[in-house]
Each structure stands twice: as C-alpha cells, then as structure tokens.
Structure 1
Amino acid sequence: MPSDQALLRSTACAIVDRLNSGEVTPLDLLDALERRIAEVDGKTNALPILCFDRARASAKALMQKPPGERGLLAGLPVPIKDLTDVAGVKTTQGSPIFKDTIAKQSDIVVELLESNGAVVYAKSNTPEFGAGAHTFNEVFGATRNPWDPSRSASGSSGGSAVALATGTAWLAHGTDMGGSLRNPASFCGVVGLRPSIGRVPHSPAFKIDRNLTVHGPMARNVEDIALMLDAMSGEHPADPLSLPRLPASFLSAARSGKKPKRVAYSPDFGITPVDPEVAAITRKAASRFAEAGVIVEEAHPDLREAHECFHVLRAFDFAITKAELLRTKREYLKPEVIWNIEEGLKLSVEKLERAEAQRIALAMRTLEFFKTYDLLLSPATIVAPFPIENRYVAECAGKKFDNYVEWLGIVYAITLACCPALSLPCGFTASGLPVGLQMVAAPRGEAPLLAGARILEDILGVRDTTPIDPRPAPQ
C-alpha cells in the first residue's frame, strides 16, 4: 500500500482509481486521515467533529459491494460542513444553542453523496450559522489559515478549505450564499465552486424556494472538483428546484480541453474597492489565458444594484430562518447575526419588491453580457487573508464599509446573477499568501466553466501547491 504521504498528496481522481483497482481500501484511507488529523488539525482547527466509527461502519458496508458498484467516489472519505445534517452526528451550526444537537436524519445532499460512494468521517468548522466570511465561533473557536496561522481562513466553508489545504481531505462539502465556497478557497489556495441554483439538491428548510444559498464542492484542483460535482448533482423530488443530471459528466467537461473564445476581466465589477496587490495578481493570471489563444478584454456587466439588493434579500433570509432564535435565544447569538435578523424584521414589502426587481434586472444584464463573453474573471476576494483577530474586513484601499458583509460584493453580485462561479488559485502575495481568481459562467454553464478553469490551471501551474503542513506563525 502507498505511504500516508503518497496517499494524502494524491488527487481525488487518482485515489478513486486506486479504490476501484483494489490497490487501497476505504479503511486504508480513513486510517491515513485519522493519523494526519492528529498530526496537523490541532494547529488549524478545521475538523472539530470527527465520526470515524460511523465512517468505518459505512466503509465496511460499502466494501461488501464489488468495486465497480460502489459509486462515483468508490469509498472516498469526505467531510461535511457543520451547517448540514449527517444522521447520528453532531450538527452545531457553530452556535452554542445547538452545541449538543445530534442530527436524526441526513440532508439530501449527504444522502446523495453517500449513495455515490462518499464516506463521511468529519464535520468542518463554520462561523455561527455560516454568517460572515471568517470561520470562528464560540463552540469550537477559530479556524486558522495554514499558510499563516495568524491569518483568517475566510468562510463560511473555512474548515473545508483548510482540511483540503492541509491534507486532511481530498474533497470537501460546503455551502455558498455570499461567497462561502469561493472566499475560503481563495484564502487557502484551493478550488471552491458555487454551482447554479438547483444543480446540487438539498433539503428545503424554512422556505421551499430559498435560492441565495447553494451547496457545492471544494477540492485541490479542477478535475477533482468536477468529480465531486458529479457525485453531488442530480434531481431529487424533495427539492423542487433541483435539476436533472446532465448526459455528460462534469469530469469529462473539465478534461475536454474546450477553450473559451473570449473572456472578460474586471478587478472590481465597478462596485467595490480592491487591494492593489490582489488586483495585480488576478489581472496577470487572467491575461495568461491569451497563451491559449483566448481573447482577454477588460469588461464587466452592469451590477450596480448588488449591494442594496443583496443586503435586503440576505436580511430577509435571516429573518425567516432565525427570527424565532432572536425571540427566544438572543443572548446566545453573535452581534452580526442579531443585526442581520433585525434588519430583516424591519423590511417592508416595498423594499422586498424593489430588491427582487433589482435582482431580475441585474441577472438579465449579466445574461446579455455572456452573449459576448464566454467567461467573466475577477478577484475572488478583494483582499489577501486578513489578521485572525479581525471579525471581518472593515475597509479596503481607503474605503470604509458600512457593514460586515459589504466587502464581499465581488462574490455576492455573482450570487444575485444566478451564475456558477469558482475560485481558482492564481498566485501569491509578496508575503506568501494565496490569491484566488473568480471565474464565472452563464447560468447552468458549469461545463464550460470547468473546461476553461482546467486550461488556465495548466497555464498557471498551481495545481500541486497543496497540501501543505501548517506553517509556524510569524514572529
């Protein structure tokens, strides 16, 4: 059997091949992960909830089937974000209110992953209720960035991103409302993909057609993220927004070599400040598409309503999902969550009407933009990883933000436009911190998005920068 290091450094696609050939077993992988977690997770706090007994029972049951009948992932271990239920496992949502809650039933997305051969062995850390792009909470504490433990891993899928970056996961589950798959991927040097609405089914909660938040995959490279998207996607009767599985796999799309003809780059979408170093790194990365014969131009759709629209729709979402907690458990909620709920409870029907109309207008203009451009590129985050003691980014390039989410405009504008988007590692700052390039396609355009990202990933040569051992904090 390969050594732990050889296994941990392998791609998910390669591990699945080894599982199908019988070279390794799911139990071998769980043993290697358990040793790696013991070695590194105390330095980063990515996976605070472990369920190896459950995982080994699942692995043994899966191994009763012939190798070719164990699903797309064939027994590959996968951690689930601690906002999402896994039957028999603690789901705290990063909140003291739910610190002892054991899920009775798994979310649809977990059931789908397990039916496709995933073995769940851990829950990844998240901010309270996923609120804010910085992974810390009062249940488990902060998740540290392995590139510099004095820095944030971002969020809200920060635990998943750090697990990938440190070799305690090959693939990881996350969710994304305002960049929660893309921001931590950018900060940690991995890939995070926000799929189109309905691409990944999940259990409805609070509102049958909630669609700001989607579930999606995280991985260390584009092919691996395509593999996980294949294992997560498909129609489910319990999720009325879910989309049928496509005839061709996303992995085959990633490997197709199909090039975009024309792409656009924008450092700011005309709506946000951006750190000059981040802008320079992402612009340089985007320009390298020209090496594949792709036309690269500076342009962006008109996204001028993004801040007002997202503020209203996010607040409404918090009101319908958390108002009861505000009434009964206020003392346990962090200030940012209280603020968001109260903002939602103050909304009038007129404000909601305006926000929904703004979203339609923004989405329609973006769709028109993609008649000219195949992909839209930008920074995935407007700053490099920030000090872990800061709760959020309060200002950038001399601009002070009005609230704790405004710095995320460059990603939540794409959420509003209903587009699939991913963060691709594209370089490092002078101090050695990762920077991600946001790559966006037209709605339901995951296949061309993955194909284009795979081509640029090859050009940039960043595929093997993770996993890493957590680095010591600067003196």
Structure 2
Amino acid sequence: MNTWDAVETAERLRAREVSRREVIDAAIARAEARGSLGAIVTETFARARSRCDGATGPLAGVPTFIKDLVHVEGVGIGWGTRAVRGVVSTRSDPAVRVIESLGLVCLGKSATPELGMTATTEPLERAPCRNPWDQTRSSGGSSGGAAALVASGVVPIAHASDGGGSIRIPASSTGLVGLKPTRGRLDMEGSQLLPVNVAVHGVLTRTVRDTIAFWSAIDASTRPARPIGAVPSAPRTRLLIAAYVDSPLGRPVAPDVHRAVHDAARACEALGHHVELVPCPFPARVVEDFVRYWALLAWLQHRLGRVLVHSSFDSDRLEPWTRGLSRWCEREPRPMAAATRRLRHLTREHAEVMARYDVLLSPVIAHPPPLLGHFATDAPFELALERILDHCPFTGIANAAGNPALSLPLGRTVAGVPIGVQLAGRAHEESTLLALALELERAHPWPTIAPGWT
C-alpha cells in the first residue's frame, strides 16, 4: 500500500478492494517503523481509527498528517517552539476543516521548525527531522515533517503551508511535488490581516495527479470565484518559458542545480515548448525586501506572541534565530517599513514579467539539501542569515507577488539526492503549471518513494 498514491488509494477504497481500517492500520505501522526520521510531533492513531469509517468526500479514508502550525480540535499543538507547552487545540483551523471535509484522515501532527521561520526542520526543542534520501541531510522547512512522511511512504499526501517557500523547499529536498497556490485560494488563517499576505496552505504529494485531485476537491468544497478548473493532460498550446539560474542576489548556485534547471529546460524544448534562457528577471532588492519582511513577521510573533500564538507564550524561550530576526527588525525600523511598502507593489511588477512569458523556470533552492546543522537556529545570527540568503533566494518572490509556483522533482545530485525545479506562473493559472508538470512527469518519471523505504 505504501506505493499507492492518494488517487489510487481512494479508488481502491471505493472499489472495496481494501478497507479503510486496513489502509489506516498500514499507514500507522509505517509511521511507527520510521520513527528515526523525527517527522511526527504528535500521533493521533486512535482518533484516526475511530473516525476513518465515517469520513466522507472524494479522498475518503486516505491517511494524512497536519503540519504542527495549525489547530486540530482536541489535538496538541506546539508550533515547533519551546515558547509554549501543553497546549491542546479547542477548535480546528478553517483550512483543517476543509481538508478533513475531503475525507482525508489525520494520523497526527508533522514536525516544523519554530513558528515555521526557517528552511530546515531542526527545532531546538526536539530531534531534527531527517531527509529519507539521506538521513544526514535536512528535509527542508518549514514543512519538513510532512515531506519526510510522504517521501518515505508513510502517507501519500500531507498538509503543508508556504509563507516563503515552505512547501517548495521541502518538496525540492525530498523529491516531491509541491504547489504553492495563488494568494486567496486557501490562505493561512489571519494572513489577510498582514501588511503583505504571503502565507497559504497546500499539500505535498508524490505525483502530479494527487496535487490536481486535492485542488480539484478544494475547488468543489470552497467554490472560489476563480477555480483552478479541469487540468488538461498537457498544455493546450505550446508555452513560452523563461528559464534562469542566476540567484537574484548574485550569489553562487551549485553546479548540480545549474544542471537540473538546464536539463528541465531541454526537456521542455523536447516537448515542443519554446524556452528562452534569460538573466534573473527580478532585482536583488526584491529578495532583500522579502527577508526584511520576514524579520517583521518574526518581530510580530516575538512581541505579540501571547496574542498571535497563545496566551501562555513565553518570548524568553524563543530560539536565537527567531529572536535575531526580531531584533534586526527593531534595529532598522525604517528600512523594514520601506521594504514592506515596496513588496505591496510586487504583484504588479511580477505581472509585467509574466505578460511576456507563460512560465518562469528556475531553481527552487540554490544548493542541494544541506547537512543537518547547517541552518542551526542557535548559530550566530549573521552567519545564519547569510546561509539562508545563499540557499533560498528564489522562493519568496512568489509569496510576495501572490502567484502560483510549483516544485517538480526533475533533478538529482551526483550522489542521487533530489533537486527540484520551480515552475512559476500567472495568478490563478495553476492549471498551466499542472498541465506542464503532467507532461514532464510522463516524459521524465521520478522515483515516488525514497530508496530503502518501499
């Protein structure tokens, strides 16, 4: 069962080839056998067994995990931080209610770094989350636990969220499909109140069709004004794709990443699409502004944690990385405010770029997944910041602009570790990205489970 994707699992359940309890019990057994990955924060196995037969919806009976940044009624929540202890959610987040309405059965909460604020899942309060492809390496962040659970075959689909790359970075690191949707499609609760709404919900999957099935079900459940709609098996017309590898910050990009993007560009050309190799179309200022805005978000949680997180929030127990971001914001309030103002105009600037192209093809991250400890949150702040800027200059642009972006596992390092490539599109045009992804998946299939876990 661990090789079935969510669509196949749901189909076999509907055909009564297997019972829901058998599917859930098998997933629980896999979860227990993969404890060394450090991907599960809280298990809700008894709850899943008691609820699976009553689940309704297009994905009824398919097991999943919910990221430990959001509320699931009656289940503990820790936000990946030492700043709170012993909190049990009294309600479910709106997005969780939508996800469970699709019939997905929650087996527990997946690991996340403190408050989702970094690109690895190594919170100081617990063991690190390990990459199933190489357990000495990071599974990415902040949806690193979700990625490890899907890539190791525990579940076929897992909830994730993305405020600066937190779906796409783990997808790239662990060989998965990860779509950050258009702003407004399934936003994080309260994100609409922020100066720039950057945070959205999504899922990590092993196949493109699972991502399509999830968002098709979300469309049917939430009835958005601009649904994704039916996704064709290939783009209806040949696309004009701009491919770039240069970091917006002018920093080095690893040779393996260069090769992955150029191979993906050639794959698109072989499918009949027109690809132009271009310099990075966004100035360094955009990434610098985004990182400053990220510091503002850390400051809000640092100073207003008892309101924004939980009444028991103890800011003195925050990790050095989070406190460092917050203090940077306090030291330089005027640049932070100016950065926020500029980001509010990025949607228009991004649309001007996308008026010339159908898709932007780029790296997801500038380097392969690093060794555990590379992004240590107790490292000196200046060193930690430099490492983040080196590694993650590509993903935050789509969050600030609000457009969709997809990580697709088309590359590998010389050592065989996954490297994703990013496909970014126009707002509300997820169907274009997903149709291209289906076409690339057929032409260049990837392993759906990390070696050694089948």
Is the TM value for this pair above 0.5?
A: yes
How far apart are residue 133 of structure 1 and its match? 0.5
Q: How does 1:403-418 map to 2 (within 5 A)?
A: 403-407=386-390, 408-418=392-402
- 2:434 equivalent in structure 1: 450
- What is the rounded CA distance, in whole Å, between the counterparts of 2:350 and 2:313 in structure 1? 41
Relative to structure 2, which stretch is displaced further, 221-230 or 124-133? Answer: 221-230
Q: How does 1:224-239 map to 2 (within 5 A)?
A: 224-233=210-219
How far apart are residue 167 of structure 1 and its match? 0.5
Residue by residue over 1:41-62, the C-alpha shift from the partner in whole angstroms, topping out at 9 and shown as x without a partner, is 2221112311011112221323
Q: How does 1:453-468 map to 2 (within 5 A)?
A: 453-462=437-446, 464-468=447-451
- 2:270 equivalent in structure 1: 291
Contact 1:165/1:190 (8 A) holds in 2: yes
Q: Are 1:351 and 2:335 matched, yes or no?
A: yes
Residue by residue over 1:12-37, the C-alpha shift from the partner in whole angstroms, topping out at 9 and shown as x without a partner, is 11111112222223212111101111
- 1:33 equivalent in structure 2: 27
- What is the rounded CA distance, in whole Å, between the counterparts of 1:430 and 1:321 in structure 2? 40
Contact 2:69/2:112 (8 A) holds in 1: yes
- What is the rounded CA distance, in whole Å, between the counterparts of 1:343 and 1:226 in structure 2? 40
Q: Are 1:217 and 2:203 matched, yes or no?
A: yes
TM-score (norm 2): 0.90
DSSP 3-state at the match of 2:83: helix
Relative to structure 2, which stretch is displaced further, 417-426 or 326-335? Answer: 326-335
- 2:309 equivalent in structure 1: none
How far apart are residue 385 of structure 1 and its match? 1.5
- 2:42 equivalent in structure 1: 49
DSSP 3-state at the match of 2:158: strand
Contact 1:265/1:376 (8 A) holds in 2: yes
From 106, 109, 127, the counterpart of 1:120: 106
RMSD: 2.6
How far apart are residue 247 of structure 1 and its match? 5.4
Q: How does 1:70-469 map to 2 (within 5 A)?
A: 70-204=56-190, 207=193, 211-233=197-219, 244=224, 246=226, 249=229, 252-253=230-231, 255=233, 257-271=235-249, 272-299=251-278, 300-325=280-305, 329-348=314-333, 350-391=334-375, 402-407=385-390, 408-462=392-446, 464-469=447-452
How far apart are residue 310 of structure 1 and its match? 0.7
How far apart are residue 150 of structure 1 and its match? 0.8
One-letter amino acid of the structure 2 residue matched with residue 253 of structure 1: V
How far apart are residue 234 of structure 1 and its match? 7.2
Contact 1:99/1:139 (8 A) holds in 2: no
How far apart are residue 405 of structure 1 and its match? 3.1
DSSP 3-state at the match of 1:17: helix
Contact 1:424/1:436 (8 A) holds in 2: yes
How far apart are residue 420 of structure 1 and its match? 0.7
TM-score (norm 1): 0.86
Percent sequence identity over matched residues? 30
Structure 1 residue runs without a partner (length 5+): 1-6, 63-69, 237-242, 394-399
DSSP 3-state at the match of 2:49: helix
One-letter amino acid of the structure 2 residue matched with residue 13 of structure 1: V
- What is the rounded CA distance, in whole Å, between the counterparts of 1:231 and 1:162 in structure 2? 24
- What is the rounded CA distance, in whole Å, between the counterparts of 2:227 and 2:295 in structure 1? 38
How far apart are residue 433 of structure 1 and its match? 0.8
DSSP 3-state at the match of 1:149: strand
Mark the CA change 1:87 to 1:245 in structure 2 (over 3 Å): closer, same or farther: farther
Residue by residue over 1:237-267, the C-alpha shift from the partner in whole angstroms, topping out at 9 and shown as x without a partner, is xxxxxx8164564xx3153553542111100
Relative to structure 2, which stretch is displaced further, 337-346 or 75-84? Answer: 337-346
- What is the rounded CA distance, in whole Å, between the counterparts of 1:356 and 1:136 in structure 2? 28
One-letter amino acid of the structure 1 residue matched with residue 43 of structure 2: L
Mark the CA change 1:259 to 1:18 in structure 2 (over 3 Å): closer, same or farther: farther
DSSP 3-state at the match of 1:126: coil
DSSP 3-state at the match of 2:422: strand
Mark the CA change 1:182 to 1:163 in structure 2 (over 3 Å): closer, same or farther: same
One-letter amino acid of the structure 1 residue matched with residue 8 of structure 2: A
One-letter amino acid of the structure 1 residue matched with residue 429 of structure 2: G
Mark the CA change 1:106 to 1:234 in structure 2 (over 3 Å): closer, same or farther: farther
- What is the rounded CA distance, in whole Å, between the counterparts of 1:208 and 1:316 in structure 2? 10
Residue by residue over 1:297-325, the C-alpha shift from the partner in whole angstroms, topping out at 9 and shown as x without a partner, is 11242333223211222122222233134
- What is the rounded CA distance, in whole Å, between the counterparts of 1:105 and 1:223 in structure 2? 31
- What is the rounded CA distance, in whole Å, between the counterparts of 1:324 and 1:362 in structure 2? 27
Contact 1:199/1:234 (8 A) holds in 2: no
- 1:397 equivalent in structure 2: none
Aligned residues: 442
Mark the CA change 1:156 to 1:401 in structure 2 (over 3 Å): closer, same or farther: closer
- What is the rounded CA distance, in whole Å, between the counterparts of 1:275 and 1:256 in structure 2? 31
Contact 1:125/1:158 (8 A) holds in 2: yes
